[in-house]
Amino acid sequence: MKHYSFILFYLFCNVFIYAFQGSFWVYIACFLVFSAVVVWGSFAIELGYFVNSITHKHTKIKEIALTFDDGPTEFTPKFLDLLKEYQIKATFFCIGKQIEKYPETFQRIIAEGHTIGNHTLTHSKSTGFLSTSKMIVEIENCDKVINNIGNIQTNLYRPPFGVTNPSIAKAIKQTHKISIGWNVRSLDTIIDDEKKIYKRVTKNLRKGSIILLHDTSEKTYRVLVDLLVFLKDKRYSTFTVDSITNSRKK
């Protein structure tokens, strides 16, 4: 994708520069267009602009993956109870500091057969501005917490906020991670209306979809209650992300 954008940018500039005889404003326009493409690529993980991320599973059957970010939290046990009731395994992308805060919950996630992914040590709000070396520290220190408390290793990694850039791309490569994205984003941390979240998820569902949720609120828990009923009624089965990558290690 990123290669195509550079080619399109090059063609776009040449056409306009030729048409307007190298006008200064044409150069400015080209720069602004390219900048917009780069920003869009940084925040839209499904484009694979800087990092090739797994966003769905190629499958012909009705199956989806439930993924939860930013835990474990005080709400996670309720999510686990519900998943256990429906006999569903999910993928949890955990923050190192949250694991340290809720070690027993983290161990329960593992004990109940769910898949664990790395979501950095601190989930810094300035993630998009961190250097490669600092991103590596974030990823590797989260790995240490996962191993120390859960006694497991994982190659799965989900970029905080879904943000990618050249520094993050290098950090992912150097830590030998597999970047995991999504193709159904619930926006459950932004939207307050539970019905809108539920509708957003269900209307965008496809065979092989990877759904992004957060085990961080009662709101999302209530959405999950309705979503699991929907999945059962529509005869969707579920898979965990490591079933695509075979990257989970004990």
DSSP-assigned letters across all residues of 43-56: H-GGG-SSS--B-B
**β-strand 184-185 against 178-179: which pairing, if any?**
unpaired
pTM of the model: 0.85
Query: Which residues carry out catalysis?
Result: 69, 214
CA atoms of 201 and 186, how far apart (whole Å): 6
Under CATH, which number does the domain 63-245 receive?
Answer: 3.20.20.370
Say if residues 117 and 241 touch (Cβ distance below 8 Å).
yes
How far does CA 246 lie from the centroid of its chain?
18
For residue 162, give the nearest of 40, 64, 2 by alpha carbon.
Answer: 40
CA atoms of 2 and 35, how far apart (whole Å): 13
Q: What is the pLDDT along the chain (250 residues), one digit of tens a residue?
A: 444 454 455 555 555 555 555 565 555 555 555 445 444 444 468 777 789 999 999 999 999 999 999 999 999 999 999 999 999 999 999 999 999 999 999 999 999 999 999 999 999 999 999 999 999 999 999 999 999 999 999 999 999 999 999 999 999 999 999 999 999 999 999 999 999 999 999 999 999 999 999 999 999 999 999 999 999 999 999 999 999 987 434 4
